[in-house]
């Protein structure tokens, strides 16, 4: 998924859906950390993608908080 499409998807999501996605990504990163420790090379690419997605979601949540004030 392209970056712009991903950002647009997050903008259309409800707040509770965003929080659920954050929880899912945190769990995914936790599991990928174990795979990385075991030496799986493909885990590095997925970790980078998940970290960026998590940052995009947190940015969207923060922008909504600022706009609501």
Q: Residue 31 sits in a domain of what CATH number?
A: 1.10.287
Backbone phi, then psi, for 49, in 5-degree steps? -65, -45
At 3-42, the pLDDT tens digits run 889 899 999 999 999 999 999 999 999 999 998 888 887 8
Average pLDDT over residues 52-66: 95
Is residue 65 packed enough to be buried (19+ CB in 10 Å), middle (13-18) or exposed (0-12)?
exposed
- Whole-model pTM: value is 0.86
Whether the pLDDT of residue 43 is over 90: the answer is no
Domain count of the chain? 1
Which domain range does residue 7 map to?
3-68
Find tokens 């712009």 and name the residue. Answer: 4
């Amino acid at each position: 998924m392209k970056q712009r499409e991903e950002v647009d998807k997050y903008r259309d999501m409800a707040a509770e859906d965003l929080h659920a996605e954050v929880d899912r990504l945190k769990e995914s990163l936790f599991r990928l950390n174990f795979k990385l420790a075991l030496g799986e090379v493909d885990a590095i690419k997925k970790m980078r993608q998940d970290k960026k997605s998590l940052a995009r979601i947190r940015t969207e949540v923060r922008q909504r908080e600022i706009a609501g004030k």
